[in-house]
Amino acid sequence: MSEEKQSENDPERTLLTLDQLSQTIEVMTNVVNRLRQHLSEQLKAQAEAQQVAREEALRDIEAEVAAQEAAEAAAAADEQQDAQIASENTQQIENKDGNESFVVEIRQQDATPPRKNNKTLH
């Protein structure tokens, strides 16, 4: 038993153990640093992807708004043109006759009236 205690207290063995622990710590530190770097790269790539997605969504919204504004402008222009044509037509009719004009709508009604149901249910 005394030999086992001596071998445990041997300074060379203690130095070897400390050296192994130091190497293990160094390896683990390198692993942790690589993991940190990898995670940082992933977070950066994810942030860039989100930024690109936001920019695309913003461009889509802007394009949609521009298209809607163009459609509204075209509709307003059509309404203005229709109003101008109607005004010109009214002026031409009033100038031609000197009287106020009106429009008469003539429709042809169906010749046969709908049939009555003569059946009685009991």
On the question of pLDDT at 14 being above 50, the answer is yes
What is 30-79 written as a DSSP string? Answer: HHHHHHHHHHHHHHHHHHHHHHHHHHHHHHHHHHHHHHHHHHHHHHHHHH
How confident is the model over 112-116, as a mean pLDDT?
63
Band of the pLDDT at 88, cuts 50, 70, 90? confident
Q: Given this model, what pLDDT does residue 6 score? A: 59
pTM to 2 decimal places = 0.45
Q: Given this model, what pLDDT does residue 1 score? A: 45
114 or 40, higher pLDDT? 40
